[in-house]
A and B are shown apart, each in its own frame.
Chain A
């Protein structure tokens, strides 16, 4: 023991390993080494040889070997089943979910925009910016209303659907009462624009536009919601649920099976509490 109380044998320092020597050892380049480092490289070779015994593939893997992954494929970047399906369907579903009227208005608006842009490029538009627009204001306001309805249905399609259903039921009920000779016809009058219930304001607007007839937009509002979802509201909400972020091939988010974005059979069969979910 030296004066500083260090035992010479216990406290001796290992000779420093430089990066190159470390790489030679790790890759088992015995020829480039000597002494203890060579023994270390041989141990690394033995370590590598330890990982050459193939395990027996499971029945599911054997199925993959014979038939491929097929529909078992899970998107890596999504981390949950059906994620890519949602990604692919979303723009299509959004467009397909619009009613015929809205689609027509959108198409007309797009055509008008193209025409105006073309006319501007050709130089046939008036120079003064305050000149009245060539298109009729009625069309534009109709287009705006249509878009607003579509947006509302998009934002709260469940409420929109409820309103449409409620209006439809009340209208049928009122018609039955009219046929039965009920002179009061309170509900029928309500439906013709005198209704003050907030939930039916939207229906009343459309009724005002087309009095005496079933407003087309009423039906389309509800149908729009139905068309748009194409599924049950629960499914729609589920599909809108943000998918958890998934790990790129290299770095991942946390240590968990969820993160790697892979759903394994074990997880499917017996859901377990993973450490996170990010891959």
Chain B
């Protein structure tokens, strides 16, 4: 039997998956995990979490347990998910008593289980480049850029998560992009 979400998990199908997950359908949890866990892990990894994978699983498990009480559509779910991820990240930093790694991001090396070595090397270079770009941002700028790009949230949603006004988020976003552009220009000059 074909399940909703098998065809790429997008749009209206995700709404069906969310409804099924709220009804405690196990397959729906797996579908939501495969759709959102990579985003959460990427967000946490690029934010410098000590154990992005473990933290992601913790976030997803907590979200799933709270899902029966959740009310909202898939956009609300996404916002809720990253709200929790953001708070867990802050808790994780406080618990580990480490300052946010604004100077040097934690670079989580993806495990390679065979495959194309050359391709993997290229993607690792790309990851290093992305991390190097983000290192030029302030903590708040990076937070805004990641929530907007990786989590695909709107300015208003990011403002709610960070407890800021939308105008402040736009300002951080603008400055962050300007900083990234300067770094890209510098890369172009040096290369």
State whether the Cβ of A43 lies closer than 8 Å to any Cβ in chain B.
Answer: yes
Interface: A250 (CB within 8 A): yes
Find chain B residues with CB under 8 A from A4 CB. none
Q: Give the distance in Å from the alpha carbon of A255 to the alpha carbon of B85 in the complex.
A: 10
**B69 adjacent to A84 (CB under 8 Å):** yes
Complex Cα spacing A221 to B37, Å: 55
Which chain A residues lie closer than 8 Å to B181 at the CB level? Answer: 14, 36-37, 39-40
- Cβ-defined contact, A50 with B76, below 8 A: no
Indicate if the CB atoms of B177 and A255 lie closer than 8 Å.
no
Interface bits A265-279 vs B (CB < 8 Å: 1, else 0): 110000011110001
| Residue among A49, A69, A279 with most chain B CB within 10 A | A69
Q: Per a CB cutoff under 8 Å, which of B33, B60, B91 touches A256?
A: B91
Given A43-B130, A249-B72, A255-B86, check contact A48 B64 (CB 8 Å).
no
Whether B126 contacts A69 by the Cβ 8 Å rule is no
- B29: which of A65, A247, A254, A257 is its contact (CB, 8 Å)? A65
A contact residues around B54 at 8 Å (CB)? 58
Question: Which of B26, B88, B95 contacts A66 (CB under 8 A)?
Answer: B26
| Contact residues on B (Cβ < 8 Å of other chain), bracket | 35 or more
- CB-based nearest A residue for B94: A275
A185 CB–B CB distance under 8 Å = no
Q: How many residues of A contact B (CB 8 A)?
A: 64
Pair A53/B110 contact, Cβ less than 8 Å? yes
Q: Which residues of B contact A64 (CB under 8 A)?
A: 26, 29, 61, 64
* A56 pairs with B53, CB closer than 8 A: yes
Contact of B58 among A56, A69, A78, A266 (CB under 8 A): A266
Q: Is A26 an interface residue (CB 8 A)?
A: yes
- Of the candidates B41, B134, B177, the one whose C-beta lies within 8 Å of that of A53 is B41
- B139 touches A (CB below 8 Å): no
Q: CB distance A25 to B38 under 8 Å?
A: no
Whole-angstrom CA separation of A74 from B24 in the bound complex: 12
Residues of B within 8 A of A249 (CB): 70-72, 76-77, 79-80, 83
Cβ < 8 Å to B, chain A residues 1-45:
14, 17, 19, 22, 25-26, 36-37, 39-40, 43-44
A211 within 8 Å of B (CB atoms): no
Select A55's contact among B41, B67, B146, B178, beta carbons within 8 Å.
Answer: B41
User: Could you jot down 6 A-B contacts, CB within 8 Å?
Assistant: A43-B184, A55-B41, A57-B57, A249-B79, A250-B80, A250-B83
List the interface of chain B (C-beta within 8 A of A): 24-27, 29-30, 33-34, 37-39, 41-43, 45-46, 52-54, 56-58, 60-72, 76-77, 79-80, 83-84, 86-88, 90-91, 94-95, 110, 126-127, 129-130, 133-134, 145-146, 148-150, 157, 160-161, 163, 170, 173-174, 177-178, 180-182, 184-185, 188
